[in-house]
Amino acid sequence: MIDIATSKWAKRALIGIFVFEIIFLYAPITMLYIFSFNEGTVIGFPFAGFTFDWYKEAFTNRGLLLSMRTSATIALMSSTASIVVGLLMAIPLARRKFKAKAPIMALVLSPLVVPHLVFGVALLITFKSVEIITNGALEFPLSLPSVAIGHVVVLMPLIVLILIPRLQRIDAHLEEAAEDLGAGGWRTFRTIILPLIAPALMAAYVISFIISFNEFAVAVFVSGPTTTFPIYVLAQLQYPVDVPQVIAISVIVVTLSLLVVVAAEILRRVLERRYRVLSQAAGLLGVADADTE
Amino acid sequence: MKKRGRVASLARRRHRVTRSLLALPLGWLLLFFVIPVSLVVAYSVGILATFTKEEGVSLESWRLFLSGENVYMLLFLKSFRMALIVAVVVVILAYPISYFLAMIADKYKYSLLLLMIAPFMTNFFMRVMAWKVLLGKQGVINSFLFWSGLREEGNPIESLAFGEVPVMIVLGYVWIPFVMLPMFAAMISMDRRLLEAAADLGASRWRAFWKVTFPLSLPGVMASFFFVFIPTIGEFVVPKLVGGTRGYMFGSAIDDLFGMGLDWRTGSVLSLWLVMAVFVLALVFMRLVRFGRLTEA
């Protein structure tokens, strides 16, 4: 049978384009790795010599480490909160019928079409207006929680988009069977729905954490005096004093993010495979097949 | 009768549960998204004001902007053009990759996809920084040229350092991995039997692509376009880093108006304008695609 999607030559051309773009994507990152070991403070050729000093200095740089801790705290708060609200939102949207579904869906997804810059500005005005309306009696402190609040709004639509397809794939009969057997709503959720969407939840959590950790446009407006990691990095890039150190730390961050992404993917696959085996076994035994794939 | 009563009570219970589940997320969105955006509207016409020097309720800031009496409208047009170029180029670059992964890469597709999107998971500034290292008067490219003697010392390729071009290169680079995903999703969910049917009916590969694959991938293409266009037209960091004065964008102006506390009211006008522009463009695109489908039929 011939392959209608491509001819042999088209396939070769596409592989060529793919390889080219992979190089285009990775070359600058590779450059970071190389220059993190360069002894000179000027980033450019010729090479001044090999050193590990920038890594050592980066790990003793208080401002840098503090900003990373701040961002990790914000990311922890916002991704945890947004997983909860995202799940609360996704379950009815995916598995229930109700009249207001379409407008609610539009509202949930609308933060996606608002540039982060505009949303950051809007939040800043909101927090400031607490002060204006109460004539300065009340002040909304701009700090870690205010950034996390903003990040939850940014993350919620993404989480809903990740969870809905997974929730829709769960056979409605499973829920009904659980209810017929006397399980309440919470118990059905905990024993049926939750295990089935666990891989998707985990993926959503990892993605949310990484996005929040790196988010700048909202954070810069509502962080007040707090310095998050991206804010620190940007300051370094604009007024370079410690650029080689920042390069060293970014190499570490890049490596860590890549490792987390790969580990999460592997784990997701293992979970999915186990789940598929289970549902196939259930199918053999004549139980309703959970996996509609 | 008894059974129907049970079903009805179950439906009622589910309805109640649905409402209580939605309360928290909807409340959150109302408080921290709908109200903030409404406050920007209020601010732009002077209903709300932080600084006492700002005059009362009027459309003056809107008039100044829309009539082009200040520079911001020109800046908007320039940024709109830049975002359009970046989005179109990036979508064109990413389309064959998505096609390759979805239709050809077979069992390797998810591993290769991960390889493509992994750079997206790294910090935005790290990727921008990587380019700052490459570009720039003393950057890797220029210093390599001096060092190898291909170009005289003190005569760097200036356009690499600052301006519109590096801003667009960097933004394109930053978005490519992200942009692939909607197109990939559209192609992977396509029914392959349609292609087989086209082949059975005697369509060539080229014709099958234009008549089947391409129209079905259009929603993905549109989503991809907006994934780049929206953040690019609101961009203010990349111009700061590699833009110089010529790379100054609409987003940079909003950032300065708020960040330096110069004029929040004008800033609000510009912010709303940005959202409106994105919204109108999205509507137009959706119309176009639907219209295209109708004429196909």
CB distance from A209 to chain B under 8 Å? no
- CB distance A183 to A126 below 8 Å: no
Among A residues 72-111, those touching chain B with beta carbons less than 8 Å apart: 84-86, 88-89, 91-92, 96, 98, 104, 107-108, 110-111
**pLDDT above 80 for B130:** no
Residue A289: pLDDT band by 50, 70, 90 thresholds?
Answer: very low
Report the 10 Å Cβ neighbour count for B140.
22
End-to-end CA distance of chain A: 25
- CB distance B294 to B285 below 8 Å: no
pLDDT at A44: 64
- CB distance A229 to A67 below 8 Å: yes
The SS3 call for residue A74 is helix
| The two structure tokens encoding residue A250 | 């970014």
Interface test with B, best of A114, A227, A293 (most B CBs within 10 A): A114
pLDDT at B90: 92
Q: What is the pLDDT averaged over residues B150-154?
A: 71
Considering only CB atoms, A265 lies closest to which of B97, B114, B122, namely B114
Residues of B whose CB is below 8 A from A33: none
Q: Please list, residue by residue across B33-62, b when 16 or more beta carbons sit within 10 angstroms of its beta carbon and e when fewer do.
A: bebbbebbebbbbbebbbeeeeeeeeeebb
Task: Report the distance separating Cα B263 and Cα B54, nearest Å.
Answer: 9
Residues of A whose CB is below 8 A from B230: 112-115
A38 has which bridge partners? A50
Residues of A whose CB is below 8 A from B144: 44-45
- CB distance B61 to B265 below 8 Å: yes
pLDDT at B55: 67
Q: What is the pLDDT averaged over residues B118-140?
A: 74
pLDDT at A157: 93
Task: Report the distance separating Cα A36 and Cα A83, nearest Å.
Answer: 36
Report the 10 Å Cβ neighbour count for A253.
20
Interface test with A, best of B122, B228, B269 (most A CBs within 10 A): B122
pLDDT at B164: 79
pLDDT at B69: 81
Residue A120: pLDDT band by 50, 70, 90 thresholds?
Answer: very high
Say which residue, B117 or B86, is predicted with more confidence.
Answer: B86
Residue A2: pLDDT band by 50, 70, 90 thresholds?
Answer: low
**pLDDT above 70 for A213:** yes
If we measure between CA atoms, which residue out of A238, A246, A241, A208 comes closest to residue A220? A238
pLDDT at A49: 75
Residue A241: pLDDT band by 50, 70, 90 thresholds?
Answer: low
> How close is the nearest chain A Cα to the Cα of B62, in Å?
17
**pLDDT above 90 for A96:** no
Say which residue, B267 or B117, is predicted with more confidence.
Answer: B267
Tell me how far the alpha carbon of residue A49 is from its chain's centroid.
Answer: 37
With 0-12 CB in 10 A as exposed, 13-18 as middle and 19+ as buried, what is B215? middle
pLDDT at A80: 96
Amino acid identity for residue A230 in this structure: P
Please state the pTM of the whole predicted model: 0.82
**pLDDT above 90 for B289:** no
Q: What is the pLDDT averaged over residues A15-19?
A: 89
Instruction: Kindly report the average pLDDT of chain A as a whole number.
Output: 82
pLDDT at B89: 92
pLDDT at A287: 47
- CB distance B43 to A170 below 8 Å: no
pLDDT in tens, A51-73: 888 888 878 888 888 998 999 99
* Contact yes or no for A125 and B208 at CB 8 A: no
> Percent of chain B at pLDDT above 70?
87
List CB contacts of B221: < 8 A, sequence separation 6 or more.
Answer: B91, B95, B182, B183, B186
Say which residue, A119 or A131, is predicted with more confidence.
Answer: A119
Q: Please state whether A21 falls in left (phi above 0), alpha (psi between -120 and 50) or beta.
A: alpha
If we measure between CA atoms, which residue out of A69, A67, A64, A82 comes closest to residue A209? A82
Q: What is the pLDDT averaged over residues B147-153?
A: 74
Task: Report the distance separating Cα B215 and Cα B293, nearest Å.
Answer: 8
What percent of the residues of chain A are helix, what percent strand, and what percent coil, each to the nearest 5? 75, 0, 25
> Percent of chain A at pLDDT above 70?
89
pLDDT at B51: 62
The alpha helices in A36-138, defined as continuous H runs, are 53-58, 62-95, 101-109, 116-133
Best-predicted range by mean pLDDT (A44-53, B14-23, B131-140): B14-23
pLDDT at A220: 92
Residue A208: pLDDT band by 50, 70, 90 thresholds?
Answer: very high
Say which residue, A284 or A212, is predicted with more confidence.
Answer: A212
Task: Report the distance separating Cα B196 and Cα A249, nearest Å.
Answer: 51
Interface test with A, best of B100, B188, B281 (most A CBs within 10 A): B100
**pLDDT above 60 for A264:** yes
* Contact yes or no for B39 and A129 at CB 8 A: yes
The kind and range of the H/E element at A234 are: helix A229-238
Instruction: Pick the range with the lowest mean pLDDT from A160-174, A203-217, B117-131, B240-254.
Output: B117-131
**pLDDT above 90 for A147:** yes
Q: What is the pLDDT averaged over residues A177-202?
A: 83
Q: What is the pLDDT averaged over residues B222-241?
A: 87
Considering only CB atoms, A5 lies closest to which of B34, B103, B128, namely B103
Instruction: Pick the range with the lowest mean pLDDT from A57-71, A123-137, A148-162, B106-120.
Output: B106-120
| The two structure tokens encoding residue A220 | 């810069």
Say which residue, B178 or A73, is predicted with more confidence.
Answer: A73
Q: What is the pLDDT averaged over residues A249-278?
A: 76
What percent of the residues of chain B are helix, what percent strand, and what percent coil, each to the nearest 5? 80, 0, 20
* Contact yes or no for B29 and A153 at CB 8 A: yes
Among A residues 107-166, those touching chain B with beta carbons less than 8 Å apart: 107-108, 110-119, 121-126, 128-129, 132, 149-150, 152-153, 156
Task: Report the distance separating Cα A219 and Cα A72, nearest Å.
Answer: 13
Q: What is the pLDDT averaged over residues A127-146?
A: 82
pLDDT at B87: 93
ipTM above 0.90, yes or no: no
Q: Measuring CA to CA, how many Å separate A203 from each of A150, A198, A269, B107, B265?
A: 21, 9, 11, 21, 40
**pLDDT above 80 for A238:** no
pLDDT at A190: 84
Task: Report the distance separating Cα B44 and Cα B50, nearest Å.
Answer: 12
Residue A288: pLDDT band by 50, 70, 90 thresholds?
Answer: very low
**pLDDT above 80 for B215:** yes
